[in-house]
Amino acid sequence: MKNELINTIEQTMAAALTPDQQRLLHHVLQEAMEHVTVTPTDNQNRNADLLSAFIAAKRVEGCSDRTIRYYESTLKKVLTAISKPIPAITTDDLRRYLDQYQQQSRAGKATIDNVRRILSSFFAWLEDEDHIVKSPVRRIHKVKTTKVVKTIYSDESLEALRDGCQTLRDLAIVDLLASTGMRVGELVRLNRADIDFANRECIVFGKGAKERTVYFDARTKLHLRNYLNSRTDDNKALFVSLDAPHERLHISGVEIRLRALGRRLHLDRVHPHKFRRTMATLAIDKGMPIEQVQVLLGHSKIDTTMHYAMVNQSNVKESHRRYLG
């Protein structure tokens, strides 16, 4: 362990030192390490402290609880597998881990790149905070992934979903997701008081605790009113469980309900996020400027909006005939 630490320091300083200075550094480090006792427990505690500090920083930045848990569990697995003090972890260590993880879990390239991005964020933070000299992830390039064209709901599918809802609550959820394009996490945080029926709008809290206004159509307004008028509970949440004690609906509750609705109607891949992608695509197809779609979706970068919005292929064909045919 001491030799690994010495090697790490020497490699880090090599470019800044002459050969004579490198030899002197090597001698000084060896002398110093003779009087230092570092136990595996010390390393584990130090690693745990650094990880805890990073997670706290992410929480302060406004990352969601789900994101925080994903970061923490991923990094714990990496640190346990490599089993080195964080400053001694090298690029080769991380490459070997990613390779072994991919082979053992048979994870897809997108998953591996997600792990790489988390590692990049962690080690970049360590570098910025002066816990390490240079991030070992810098030389690990983005994993090339196959671009998959994600589907959206057709007009027929949306109508089938509305017709297939067996409760006023589920119908209101489908309409609100379809007309606003809000995230499911934003939907379940809404309270009754957040809905402005007069202006058909509401304020949601998106990623990073950022506020934005979203808008819904007249049909959604009608179905939301019908659902709220049917409720007998006093919970402030906009959407609650069907059974007493009528607690606030969670993300998993919405996802489970929509999957069950899709299976019953024999529709493929029914999930909340698909409504968001559908709204973005329809808005762009109907001529809404991409910058306005970006605001509606709450994206900080327009590239993200372009990734969400699938261009209608029939419109591409028509434009080709009009401009190039």
CA–CA dist 323, 144 (Å, integer) = 33
* Residue range 119-134, pLDDT digits in tens: 999 999 999 998 888 8
- Beta-carbon contacts of residue 64 (< 8 Å; ≥ 6 apart): 185, 207
Q: Check residue 80 and give its pLDDT.
A: 93
**Structural domains in the chain plus CATH codes:** 39-128 (1.10.150), 155-322 (1.10.443.10)
* Residue range 146-188, pLDDT digits in tens: 666 678 899 999 999 999 999 999 999 999 999 999 999 999 9
- The torsion angles phi and psi of 80, rounded to 5 degrees, stand at -70, -40
Cis peptide bond N-terminal to 245, omega within 30: yes
Tell which residue, 111, 120, 110, has the closest CA to residue 140.
120
Catalytic residue ranges = 183, 207, 273, 276, 299, 308
Q: What is the mean pLDDT of the chain?
A: 87
Note the Cα 295 to chain centre separation in Å.
18
CA–CA dist 240, 309 (Å, integer) = 30
Strands 195-196, 201-205: parallel, antiparallel or unpaired by DSSP?
Answer: antiparallel
CA distances from 168 to 108, 231, 240, 297 (A): 39, 10, 12, 26
In this model, does residue 227 exceed pLDDT 90? yes
Q: Supply the pTM of this predicted model.
A: 0.65
- Beta-carbon contacts of residue 43 (< 8 Å; ≥ 6 apart): 1, 84, 85
Tell which residue, 226, 165, 234, 143, has the closest CA to residue 193.
234
